[in-house]
């Protein structure tokens, strides 16, 4: 098992998808192969960013916080900085 992480995918329509997983390689493969309903029509996808966390629970909490922002500018800033600067729970 790999490290739990939050990831950001860049979609073919220049939008972003935010997710969390305990196995980024497997999850990205699911996205690329059309196995994820929310990204199936947005392929091809590219991993734009990922950040590891101690637990999957921590990663999920950060994922939900990022999704609540609903701001492309915040996501672009995270990718540019190479770091999520939101305080962990």
Asked whether residue 74 is assigned to any structural domain, the reply reads yes
CATH assignment at residue 60: 3.40.1440.10
List the domain range (segments joined by +) for residue 77. 5-81
Closest to 31 in 3D by CA, of 41, 22, 78: 41
Strands ordered across the beta sheet of 5-10:
16-21, 5-10, 46-52
Residue 2 confidence (pLDDT):
79
Residue 88 confidence (pLDDT):
64
Bridge partners, 47 (sequence order):
9
Closest to 44 in 3D by CA, of 33, 35, 55: 33
Asked whether residue 25 is assigned to any structural domain, the reply reads yes
For residue 65, what are its two tokens? 């916080």
Asked whether residue 23 is assigned to any structural domain, the reply reads yes
Closest to 87 in 3D by CA, of 68, 66, 70, 71: 66
- Look up the pTM and report it: 0.94
Residue 1 confidence (pLDDT):
52
Instruction: Compute mean pLDDT per 10 residues along the chain, 89 residues long, and list them.
Output: 91 97 98 97 97 96 93 94 83
- Number of independent structural domains in the chain: 1
Asked whether residue 10 is assigned to any structural domain, the reply reads yes
């Amino acid at each position: 098992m790999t490290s739990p992480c939050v990831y950001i995918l860049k979609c073919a329509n220049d939008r972003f998808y935010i997710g969390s997983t305990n196995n980024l390689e497997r999850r990205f493969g699911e996205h690329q192969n059309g196995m994820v309903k929310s990204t199936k029509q947005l392929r091809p996808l590219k991993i734009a960013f990922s950040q590891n966390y101690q637990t999957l629970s921590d990663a999920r909490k950060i994922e939900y916080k990022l999704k609540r922002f609903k701001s492309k500018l915040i996501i672009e800033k995270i990718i540019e900085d190479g770091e999520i600067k939101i305080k962990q729970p």
